[in-house]
Amino acid sequence: MKEIKGPALFLAQFAGDVAPFNSFEAIIEWVASIGYKGVQIPSWDKRIFDLERAAESQDYCDSLKEKAEKFGVEITELSTHIQGQLVACHPAYDTLFNGFGPDLARDDYGAKQKWATEQLMFAAKASERLGLTAHATFPGALLWHTVYPWPQRPAGLVEDGFKELARRWRPILDAFDEVGVDVCYEIHPGEDLHDGVSFERFLAAVDHHPRCNILYDPSHLILQGMDYLEFIDIYHERIKMFHVKDGELNCNGRSGVYGGYQAWIDRPGRFRSLGDGQIDFGGIFSKLTQYGFDGWAVVEWECCIKDPEDGAREGAQFVKDHIIKPCARSFDDFAAAGSDNDLNRKVLGI
């Protein structure tokens, strides 16, 4: 068995305009000061990272790694959640996603998709320069508006949707394959890959591409009422990344999984800081260790109640307390029975 690495922190919720969150070196120093050993970098936030420059310049990538190492921190993965969303975004959502793309692509569905695909190609090259082996992203959604259909979906719609999703992603997956980096799709409501069945559909559509893998985040599974532990049993061979995020689902007589358009704090399904929700992280860390997961445990702070800096600080210790050092020998080695063919035959009565 192998040991999970960590703790690491996803910086997307923390990068900002105020020190120490407004530059790469400053935010790394803060991360190290509260106990983290790794960072997952949002590639779209130029206050702390320049994706295009990273794709083109080995010197730039080396300088980032040196700055992180100075504080005992490692760059764990890059994220293109924002860009990945636009690789496959239904035109109905184009206006809502204007803020995700560049100004030149505003209200231009095709331009957003072209830009997003180029960004993913940059991310593959940047990941190679940084010596990374996994990449976090969203797959986007062409079918999400039909997830609970009325009227019923036309025959063949789902198959055509996943065929088109695969067509858009296949060249990106190939580019990541060329540099030896896994593409880890966050299984997430709002995406066409939102549960195990939908991931399987996509995996089949890309011919079980070796780089098509999963970012496992149990908070998005518990909010759907799924068995997030059995999910690991089923898909552990494709789980290459892990977001440690807590959540809770408290359905009631007024609303349930869909939430009634309420604010996050009022929804039955809510994201919580680590240890404040319902997720069995002891079970998760045990299963991931059992199956030999040796990637990073990356804290993603999203909570409708707790202060983010408090959540980050508590999260570092929470992950440390849950990482399991694998046993190096069998618990019953003391018996030292060894192997004896004659004895075995005698025990079997032959």
* Position 156 confidence tier, pLDDT thresholds 50, 70, 90: very high
Q: What pLDDT is recorded for position 275?
A: 97
* Position 343 confidence tier, pLDDT thresholds 50, 70, 90: confident
Least confident span in 212-221, 304-313, 334-343:
334-343
Q: What pLDDT is recorded for position 78?
A: 98
Q: Which amino acid is at 154?
A: P
Q: What pLDDT is recorded for position 104?
A: 87
Q: What is the pLDDT of residues 14-66, one digit of tens each?
A: 999 999 999 999 999 999 999 999 999 999 999 999 999 999 999 999 999 99
Q: What pLDDT is recorded for position 328?
A: 79
In a 3-state reduction of DSSP, which class is residue 179?
Answer: coil
SS (H, E, C) 200-252: HHHHHHCCCCCCEEEEECHHHHHCCCCCHHHHHHHHHHHEEEEEECEEEECCC
Supply the mean pLDDT for the chain.
96
Domain ranges of the chain: 5-348
Q: What is the pLDDT of residues 98-136, one digit of tens each?
A: 999 999 899 999 999 999 999 999 999 999 999 999 999
In a 3-state reduction of DSSP, which class is residue 15?
Answer: coil
Least confident span in 48-62, 288-302, 310-324, 334-348:
334-348
Question: What whole-number distance in Å separates Cα of residue 110 and Cα of residue 1?
Answer: 46
Closest CA relative to residue 88, chosen from 15, 21, 169: 169
- The maximal CA–CA distance of the chain, rounded, in angstroms, is 81
In a 3-state reduction of DSSP, which class is residue 280?
Answer: coil
> Higher confidence at residue 342 or residue 296?
296
Q: What is the pLDDT of residues 223-246, one digit of tens each?
A: 999 999 999 999 999 999 999 999
Both structure tokens of 211: 């780089």
* Position 193 confidence tier, pLDDT thresholds 50, 70, 90: very high
Rounded average pLDDT over 324-332: 80
Rounded average pLDDT over 133-150: 97
Question: What whole-number distance in Å separates Cα of residue 176 and Cα of residue 136?
Answer: 12
Q: Is the pLDDT of residue 335 over 60?
A: no
Q: What pLDDT is recorded for position 268?
A: 98
In a 3-state reduction of DSSP, which class is residue 103?
Answer: helix
Q: What pLDDT is recorded for position 278?
A: 98
CATH 3.20.20.150, domain 5-348, yes or no: yes
Q: Is the pLDDT of residue 321 over 70?
A: yes
Q: What pLDDT is recorded for position 187?
A: 98
Question: What whole-number distance in Å separates Cα of residue 227 and Cα of residue 181?
Answer: 28
For residues 287 and 233, is the Cβ–Cβ distance under 8 A? yes
Whole-angstrom CA distances from 336 to 275, 279, 328, 331, 344 are 41, 39, 15, 11, 15
CB atoms within 10 A of CB 258: 12
Q: Is the pLDDT of residue 333 over 70?
A: no
Q: What is the pLDDT of residues 77-100, one digit of tens each?
A: 999 999 999 999 999 998 999 999
Q: What pLDDT is recorded for position 332?
A: 64
pTM given for the model: 0.95
For residues 293 and 6, is the Cβ–Cβ distance under 8 A? no
Q: What pLDDT is recorded for position 334?
A: 60
Q: What pLDDT is recorded for position 327?
A: 85
